[in-house]
A and B are shown apart, each in its own frame.
Chain A
Amino acid sequence: MSRFIERHPAWALITIIAIAVLLWLVVAVWPPGLEAAIGRKRVFLNAVLNGITLGGLYFLVASGFTLIFGLMRNVNLAHGSLYLFGGYVGYAISVWTGSWILSFVVAFIAVALVGVVLQILVFRRMEGQDLRQTMVTIGLSIVFADLMLWAFGGDFYQIQTPNWLVGPIQLPLITAVKSSGDPVYLQYPLVRLVIFAASVVIGVAMWLALNRTRVGMIVRAGVDDRDILAATGVRIQLVFVLVFALGAGLAGIAGVVGGTFQSISPGEDTRFLLASLVVVIVGGMGSIPGAALGAVIIGLAEQLGSVYIPTYAIVVTFLIMVLVLALRPQGLLARR
C-alpha cells in the first residue's frame, strides 16, 4: 500500500479523495441543496448498498473464474453455465428439503463435481492449447444452456429466503431528519447483508488459504510458472482438478445466492459470464484481491448507473473497462 502511494502519488490522492467523498455521502445528513440536485439520500444509500452486495455476488462468481484462469490459463466461458446450474440445483434442493443452507452445500458439491469431470475428461486432454480449450468451453456453454433449458424450461425460479432472514433490519445510517428532529434510519433487507458478509468471509478465507497454507503456496507457484512447479515433483494434475473443483463450486454457490437475491432463468448464464469477464478484466486476471476490487467497482457502477442514468447504465460499466484497459491493460491489481 505504501509502495503504491510512493509510486503513484496522484492516483493515491484521487483514490483517497474519492473514498472520502463516498464515506461522507454515506454517513452525513445531506444538506437540502444536495438532495435537490441528485435526489433523496435513501435512494442513493440503497443503490450503494445494492451495489456493494451485488459486488459480493459478482466476487463469488468471478473469483472462481479468475482462479481457474490464473492457474490453468483456461478462459472458462462455460463459467456462467456453472453458475446457472448451481442456481437450478439449489432451487431443486430448497424446494425438496426446504433447507436453504443445505442447498448451498449440495450446489457446491454438485457443481464442483461437474468441474472435476470437465477438468479430467476435457481440459486435461488439451493442455497448453489455450485457444482450443476456450473454444471447447464455448461449445460446452451452448450444450449446457440447452440441456438446462430442456430440463427446467424457460421459467423464472426464485429460491425461498429462510424465515429467519426475511424482512428488513434497521441500519445505523441516517437517511434524513424529520421536521420534529428525529433521525430516520435506513431499512435494508437482512438477507443481502448476510450474504455479503458470507462472501467477505469466503474471500478472506480464500486469501488466507492462498497465502498462508502449503496448498495455497503450490497454487500460487503454479500461477507463476506451472512447468517449473511440475518439475519440482508436485502432482500438478491433482492441483488443477482441486482448483477447478473449487472455482466451479464457488460458481455453484453464487448461483444459489443469485437465485435468492434475484432469480434464475435462461440467459442469466450470459449475464454472469459478462459480469465475471468485466470484473476480471478490471481487477486483473488471476488475482483474487483484484476480483474483489473489480466486483465492488462493477457492482457499484451498475447499481448507481441504473438509478441515476437508467438507459445508459451498461455504458458506465463498459467505460470503466475501457479506462482500465487504456491505462493499465493488465488490470488494476495484477502483478504483471
Chain B
Amino acid sequence: MSLIQGAQLQATQPGSAVRRAISRAWPELNSPAAWLVALILVIMPLIANGFFLIEIFATTLILGVIALSLMFLAGYGGMVSLMQLTIAGFAGYMVAVIGVSGNANISMGWPWWLATPMALALATVFGTLGGALAVRTEGIYTIMITLAIGAAFYYFTNQNWAIFNGHTGINTVATPHFLGVNWRSDIPFYYLALGVAAVCYFAVQYLSRAPFGLALQGVRDNPRRMAALGFNVNAHRVAAYAIASFIAGLGGVLQVWNYRQISPGSVSVGACIDILIIAVVGGITRPIGPFIGAFIFVMLRTFALDFLVKFGLDGNRFRLLIGLGFLAIVFWSSDGVVGLWESWRRRNAPPTGTIGNRHG
C-alpha cells in the first residue's frame, strides 16, 4: 500500500508525460537523498579502507541481496521463505564444486565463466523446486516447510562427504580473474558487489511495477479473487520463487567469492534465520529495507563485542542483542526500520504530506 502512495507523492511535480512516467517507475530518480546515497556508495573506496570496504560494505551488500530475495517473496508474494540463504549457500557450494578449489578431489575444475552461470542455474532450479513444494500449502505453513528444507540441507552438507566434503566444507575456492583484474582484490570486489546489488535492487523495483509484480501482489492480497479473474495463482508463486532463487544465487556466488570457502556453518539454520531478521528489521515492504537491515546487522555483528565490553557486559552476547532487537522490531513496528522512519517523518512533517496528497 505504502509503495503506491509513495509513487503518487513523487509524481506530483510538474513535467512532461515521459518524465512523469519515468519518475513513476523510478521514484529514486528525483529524490536527492537517494542520489546522495548512490554517490557515497560509488566513491566509497576513497573514503573507507580495505577492512570497512569488504567486511562492512561488501558484506552488507551481499547479505542485502540475499535478504532482498526474501523481501521480494514476502513483501510482494506474501510467502515468508526461510530457505533463501540455503539457496544462496547451494549456489556457493556449486561454484566450489563445479569450479576450482583447494579440494581437487571434489571440484570439477571448470573455468569461472562456465561454473558461475551453471551454479546460478542449478540454484534457480533448486529454489524453484523448493518453492513448488512450498506453494502446495499456504501462509504460515510456508515457514515450516522452507525451514525444514533449509535445516535438511544443512544436515545433508554435514553428512555428505562425496559432494559437499562434510563439516570441513570446501576451501580456497578460486575467484575470477579477467580483463587483467583480480576481482577478489578489495576495490574491484566492492564494485562487483555494488553492481550486483544495484542491478538486483532495480530489477526488484521494476518487477514490483511490472504486470507480473502487480499480479503477484494481487495474489498476495486475495488469491481466490485472482484465481477467479483467471490468473494461475500457483504459477505466479512458483515464478516468484524462481526469480527470488536467482537473486539469492547471485548473493551466494558473491559470498563464496568473498570468503573463498564454504562449509555447513554458512548454511546453518541460524544463518537462515539471520536473513529473515535482516529483512524484517530493515522492512519487508520495500526493496531498500533488506539493505538497511543488512547494514544494521553487519554493524552489530562487527562492533557489538567492543560495544558490550565497553558497557561492562559479556562481549559474546551479540546474538542476544540481535534477538532482543528483532523482538523489539516485531513488537513495535510492522514494517521494520523503514516503517519506523516513515511514521516518524509523517509525524514530524504533516504539512508536506497533505500538500502532496492534495496535488495527487
Residues of A within 8 A of B159 (CB): 310-314
Contact A277 B330 (CB under 8 A): no
A317 to B280, CA, bound (A): 30
The chain A residue sitting closest to B137, CB to CB, is A329
Contact at A77–B148, with CB atoms within 8 Å? no
The listed residue (B140, B148, B317) touching A134 by CB distance below 8 A is: B140
Q: Is A173 an interface residue (CB 8 A)?
A: no
B170–chain A nearest beta-carbon distance, Å: 16
A139 located at the interface, meaning its Cβ lies under 8 Å from any Cβ of chain B in the complex = yes
Q: Are B151 and A146 within 8 A (Cβ)?
A: no
Task: Chain A residues near B152: list those with CB within 8 A.
Answer: 274, 278, 314-315, 317-318, 321
Interface string of A71-100 (1 = CB under 8 A from B): 001010100000000000000000000000
Q: Judging by beta carbons under 8 Å apart, are B136 and A329 in contact?
A: yes
**Contact A75 B140, CB 8 Å, known A138-B276, A311-B159, A314-B159:** yes
User: Closest residue of chain A to B323, judged by CB?
Assistant: A142
A281→B140 contact, CB < 8 A: no
- Give the chain A neighbours of B143 by CB distance below 8 A: 75, 77, 131, 134
Q: Does A132 contact B (CB under 8 A)?
A: yes
Q: With the chains together, A145 CA to B80 CA distance in Å?
A: 22
Given A314-B156, A314-B159, A317-B152, verify A138-B145 contact (CB < 8 Å). Answer: no
Q: Which B125-167 residues have a C-beta within 8 angstroms of A?
A: 133, 136-137, 139-141, 143-145, 147-149, 151-152, 155-156, 159-162
A197 part of interface (Cβ distance < 8 Å):
no
Residues of B within 8 A of A140 (CB): 323, 327
Complex: A314 Cα to B160 Cα, angstroms: 10
Q: Bound complex: CA of A81 vs CA of B159, how far in Å?
A: 24
- B327 touching A136 by the CB < 8 A rule? yes
The binding surface of chain B is classed by DSSP as helix
Q: What residue in chain B is nearest A133 (Cβ atoms)?
A: B140
Q: A138-B276, A142-B323, A274-B152 are in contact. Are A285 and B141 (CB under 8 A)?
A: yes
Contact with B along A233-257 (1 / 0, CB 8 A): 0000000000000000000000000
B320 touching A277 by the CB < 8 A rule? no
Report the bound CA distance from A182 to B145 in whole Å.
50
Measured between alpha carbons, how far is A140 from B326 in the docked complex, in Å? Answer: 9
Q: Please name 7 further chain A to chain B contacts, defined as beta carbons within 8 Å, in addition to the given A318-B156, A325-B137, sorted by A numbering.
A: A130-B140, A135-B276, A142-B273, A146-B317, A281-B145, A312-B159, A318-B152
Q: How far is the CA of A218 from the CA of B152 in the complex (A)?
A: 36
Q: Are B162 and A311 in contact (CB under 8 A)?
A: yes
Contacting A146 at CB < 8 Å: which of B161, B162, B323?
B323
Q: How far is the CA of A244 from the CA of B148 in the complex (A)?
A: 23
Of chain A, the residue at the smallest CB distance from B140 is: A130
Q: Which residues of B contact A135 (CB under 8 A)?
A: 276, 280, 326, 330
- Shortest Cβ-Cβ A-B pairs, 3 listed: A142-B323, A143-B323, A139-B327
Q: B225 at interface (Cβ–Cβ under 8 A)?
A: no
* Interface presence of B324 (CB below 8 A): yes
Cβ contacts A to B, 6 pairs, < 8 Å:
A130-B140, A136-B327, A140-B323, A143-B320, A277-B147, A318-B156
Contacts A131-B139, A139-B330, A312-B160 given; indicate if A325 touches B145 (C-beta within 8 A). yes
Kindly state the separation between the CA atoms of A317 and B149 in the bound complex, as whole angstroms: 11
- Complex CA gap A278/B145 in Å reads 8
CB distance from B107 to the nearest CB of A (A): 18
Q: Are A143 and B276 in contact (CB under 8 A)?
A: no
Q: Is A322 among interface residues, defined by CB-CB distance under 8 A?
A: yes
Contact digits for B299-323, partner A, Cβ 8 Å, 1 yes 0 no = 0000000000000001011011011
| Contact surface of A with B, Cβ cutoff 8 Å | 73, 75, 77, 130-132, 134-136, 138-140, 142-143, 145-147, 150, 270, 273-274, 277-278, 280-281, 285, 310-315, 317-318, 321-322, 325-326, 329-330
Given contacts A142-B273, A274-B148, A281-B145, contact A131 B140 (CB under 8 A): yes
Using CB atoms and an 8 Å cutoff, list the residues of chain B in contact with chain A.
80, 133, 136-137, 139-141, 143-145, 147-149, 151-152, 155-156, 159-162, 269-270, 273, 276-277, 280, 314, 316-317, 319-320, 322-324, 326-327, 330-331, 334
Interchain CB contact under 8 A, A150 and B317:
yes
Measured in the bound complex, the distance between the Cα atoms of B304 and A146 in whole Å is 14
Bound-state Cα–Cα, A329 to B330, Å: 30
CB closest chain-A residue, reference B330: A135
Which chain A positions have C-beta within 8 A of B323? Answer: 139-140, 142-143, 146
Task: With A75-B140, A134-B140, A311-B162 as known contacts, state yes or no: A281 contacts B320, CB within 8 Å.
Answer: no
In this complex, which of B148, B269, B270, B276 has the most chain A Cβ atoms within 10 angstroms of its Cβ?
B148
**Given known A-B contacts A77-B147, A278-B148, A312-B160, A136 and B331 have beta carbons under 8 A apart:** yes
Q: Are A311 and B280 in contact (CB under 8 A)?
A: no
**Cα–Cα distance between A135 and B145 once the two chains are bound (Å):** 15
Instruction: Give the Cβ gap from B115 to chain A, nearest Cβ, in Å.
Output: 24
B269 lies within 8 A of A147 (CB): no
Q: Among B133, B320, B330, B334, which residue has its beta carbon within 8 angstroms of that of A325?
A: B133
Contacting residues, chain B, for A138 (C-beta < 8 A) = 273, 276-277, 326
Query: Which chain B residues lie closer than 8 Å to A321 at the CB level?
Result: 145, 148, 152
Residues of B within 8 A of A280 (CB): 144
Q: Who on chain B is nearest to A321 by CB? A: B148
Query: Please, how many angstroms separate the alpha-carbon atoms of A330 and B145 in the complex?
Result: 12
A270 contacts across to B, CB distance below 8 A:
151, 269-270
In the complex, the answer to whether B156 meets A315 with C-beta atoms within 8 Å is: yes
Is the Cβ of A274 less than 8 Å from the Cβ of B320? Answer: no
Residues of A within 8 A of B156 (CB): 312, 314-315, 318
Q: Give CA–CA (A145, B270) in the complex, Å.
A: 10
